[in-house]
Chains A and B, each alone.
Chain A
Amino acid sequence: MRFFWQKGRVTVAVEAFNSEGGLENREIEGKTQGQIIRARFFRHRGAMISMFLLFAIAVFVFSSVGTNLFGISIPGWWKWKITDMPDLNQCRAGIVGCPTLSVVPKFLGGAGIHLGQHPFGQDDIGHDYFALVMRGAQRSILIMLILGTVAGFIGTVVGAISGYFRGFIDGALMRLVDFILIIPFLIPAAVIGYKFGNLGVVNLALFLGIFYWTGLARLVRGEFLSLREREFVDAARVAGAGNRRIIFKHILPNAAGIIIVNVTLLMSSAILLESALSFLGFGVVAPDVSLGLLISEYQDSFTTRPWLFWWPGLFIIVITLTVNFIGDGLRDAFDPRQRRRLGRKEREESQKAILSHQVSAEG
């Protein structure tokens, strides 16, 4: 950490005469690494918007139809549960279960802003589609978090051990990575699906996580391989630090960037993986609900009842997109080479500063 920081200071010193460097110098002076990264992340507009959006979606989704996690059940504020089966709405000739959501206000010729009984419509047998989509989105978020945690943990540990100790352990672990890498996901998923019936999303996510850490392990290993040769590791060793302390206190904080970024990206791909598996019938199975499952059920009704198809897809895309943007913001924040593009005003300001500096140097 400390050396990293000092290296930063050296480059800043060299670039003090160049316009952008001068400004950057002012920005990072007297701040810790964490503060700089946080400041950079907060400046990434896409990532910030995405973070608030994702948070809002998560709160909305979990509070609306309630949730039942590890035996604690929280009721939701939405009037229908996913098991309720009210009568089907007859709306147009031959089409049932239309959405009652309306967003076009009356003065624009619409039906006014209101939710109605079933804002997202109803499915084939009358279930409220809003409740189903909310439950599906809950599943997606839950799977994303569990899978990300499991895969992130295994990947980091394996990568760290492999990169730090090298030699035989490294060889063995990397062969294990190769080994898992060539086993297609559908096979473990099918085993859970068929053998254990539906053990629920938590187990599905855990099981998939066990097969999903390989890419991360390789990246972390590469990072550890290069970090362990740095001077601050030697310094720590000379000072008498043991392996555990060096790994956790000295190397891991420096590799945190690459881990956080890649776990985020891994989470976004986990949502797509889950929905794809459910779509094929190997992921979340009925009677449980998942966004991929909803799309797969109603893909043929697109011409007559498109809303059954739009809503789950919309939620998959928005959740994945926001997670991706957060990952991108984190990547920019952690990348020391990343230079921000200066606005025109800032550029003029720094130009002025350099001019006055030169004038005072000449004078």
Chain B
Amino acid sequence: MFAYISRRIGISLAILFGSSFLVYNLEAYSGDPLQDLRTSTSPSAKTLLHDLIRTLHLNIPAPARYFIWLKGVLKVFTGHIDLGVNRQGTSIPTELSVAVPTTIRLVIAATVLAIVLGIAIGIISALRQYSRFDYAMILVSFFLFSLPIFWVAVLLKQFLAISFNNFLSNGHIGFGFIVVMSIAAGFFWAGVISGTRKRVIQIFFGVGIANAILLWTLSVTKWFTHPRLGIEGVFIFGLAIAYAMTQLSTGLENKASFKAALSMAIVGTILYFPAEHILHAHGSFLMLFIFAVVTFGVGVINGRLWAKVDRAPIVRTSVLTAFFVAFVIFIDELMHNWIHYVNTDAVNGRPIPTLGQSNNQIQPGHFWYTIIDDLTHLLLPTVALTLISFASYVRYSRGSMLEVLNQDYIRTARAKGLTERTIIMRHAFRNTLIPITTIIVLDFAAIIGGAIITETVFGWTGMGKLFVQAIENFDENLLMATFLITSLLTLLANLLADLLYSVLDPRIRVGGN
């Protein structure tokens, strides 16, 4: 194992050396970084030109200059890496220290959302293979697969930001919209649950009418302009979460587990007022962390109180329920602050921005305003990125699940008389995740290297933006720094994916023959 990893790292470094040499020279070949200064008529151009040549070593030919750069990079072993300066004279690590966190903030929510939704839909689609739902999802994923992200981005700006902001000025939902949404919801859930024809029709009408009533109520009570869940909302969501978590984690037959989840929902509702009060008065990331720790603790204690034997699954259900209920309380706290945030001068009633990564007129001291501001700025790029990568996860997980369902061990599990829930969640789902895990790792590395187009369209200054900027300005050091990070991540992710594969699937051995 050790020999394998060290050999892989050695090869990776060799590849890195070769490709960085090539990229450096390609970049130097692509254009003259001094073009604008040479043709400039400004009196200071000459001195600027000489300064630039000196600091960037432009008098040395590119293949040789590469080794100066490499020497700086290799100083990483002595503890202070030297990536040079960009054309404006800023040191590269300073630029990166701003760009990398920005990109991570941008892509993390989108990737997680795309993974969770994509896998869920893909697996449901595989379980209902060749049903109408399956066909519809294949069609949708193909459609999303064919969308150019910059095109989606412009549409989102128009319909999700501008139109939604207009809508928020009165909060009234049109009749046509309610009808369309209800029919869509009816179709979706009828497809997911499925069954006999009569049952499908029942579900369709049930969900559709419930949805219409809900939207109408929200519209009439002006919920969208004054959103709140309140203690009753937390209670209702808590019960639903308890039901869903038990169903997924242990199955409803496990009475102790269901009771633990239900009691957790009730405890959450009881703790609603104190939790809300503390969060509101002392909002900070430390407080959120403490909140999470307390949630975990309460979940564990509650689970252990209900469990007589076989504790682990019950505690697991309880903790999961606790976290989701806590999340609902957190959302409710955000909603409390929402209307005040919307009415601040900086926002002026139009909360969903189309550009930028934060609103710098928001008063920095107010924790909740900052959080809402970050979230609203994240909304459009997150939706765009999620839509685009969602499709590939649906397809991967559907294919993988179908493959697993055809395996002999699934037949054995059925023959043993295990419940369908156990077969799907314990036998099929876990094995489905093996190939997907490696794809996730590679995807993450690729996307951190820059959601180039997303960043350009939505005006974020992350890695992708730096990269484009470097190419446009012939900024060699900046380009090499972004390249270095991207390629290192890719190589590491490749190694990690291979290792993970062998950990998850013991039949596969790395390094052996």
Contact = CB atoms under 8 A, between A and B. Distances in A.
Interface of A: 175, 178-184, 186-188, 190-191, 193-195, 268, 272, 275-276, 279-282, 292, 295-296, 299, 302-303, 309, 313, 316-317, 320-321, 324-325, 328, 341
Contacts of B16: 182
Instruction: Determine chain B's interface SS by DSSP, over half rule.
Output: helix
Contacts of A295: 148, 150-151, 154
16 contacts: A175-B14, A175-B15, A179-B15, A182-B487, A183-B487, A184-B467, A187-B471, A195-B29, A268-B146, A276-B453, A279-B453, A302-B154, A313-B148, A317-B147, A321-B142, A325-B142
B508 interface: no
B63 interface: no
A328 B142 contact: yes
Contact of A179 (B18, B130, B162): B18
Given A181-B490, A187-B27, A325-B142, A276 B468 contact: no
A313 B156 CA distance: 14
Nearest to B491: A182
B146 A317 contact: yes
Given A178-B15, A182-B487, A313 B449 contact: no
Contacts of A321: 142-143, 146
Interface residues of B, number: 45
Instruction: Determine chain A's interface SS by DSSP, over half rule.
Output: helix
B329 to A, nearest CB: 39
A307 B479 CA distance: 37
B491 A186 contact: no
B30 A194 contact: yes
Contacts, number: 111
A117 to B, nearest CB: 27
A324 B471 contact: no
A190 B146 contact: no
Contact of A186 (B29, B143, B150, B471): B471
A353 to B, nearest CB: 22
Tell me which of A180, A282, A321, A341 has the highest count of chain B C-beta atoms within 10 A of its own C-beta: A321
B29 to A, nearest CB: 6
B468 A186 contact: yes
Interface in B18-41: 18-19, 22-23, 26-27, 29-31
A281 B483 CA distance: 19
Interface in B160-184: 162
Given A175-B14, A178-B12, 5 more contacts: A182-B19, A182-B487, A272-B146, A321-B143, A321-B146
A295 B153 CA distance: 11
B148 A275 contact: yes
B483 to A, nearest CB: 7
Interface in B476-498: 479, 483, 486-487, 490-491, 494
A188 B146 contact: no
Q: State the 7 A-B residue pairs at the shortest beta-carbon distance, nearest first.
A: A320-B146, A182-B487, A194-B31, A191-B30, A321-B146, A313-B151, A341-B130
Nearest to A180: B19
Contact of B22 (A183, A195, A317): A183
Given A187-B27, A317-B147, A182 B490 contact: yes
B23 A195 contact: no
A291 to B, nearest CB: 8
B452 interface: yes
A187 B490 CA distance: 17
Contacts of A275: 148, 150
B502 interface: no
A180 B474 CA distance: 21
Nearest to B18: A179
A191 B31 CA distance: 8
B148 A195 contact: no
A316 B149 CA distance: 11
Contacts of A325: 142
Nearest to B153: A299
A175 B151 contact: no
Contacts of A276: 148-150, 453
A179 B13 CA distance: 11
Given A182-B19, A183-B19, A280 B148 contact: no
A320 B472 CA distance: 29
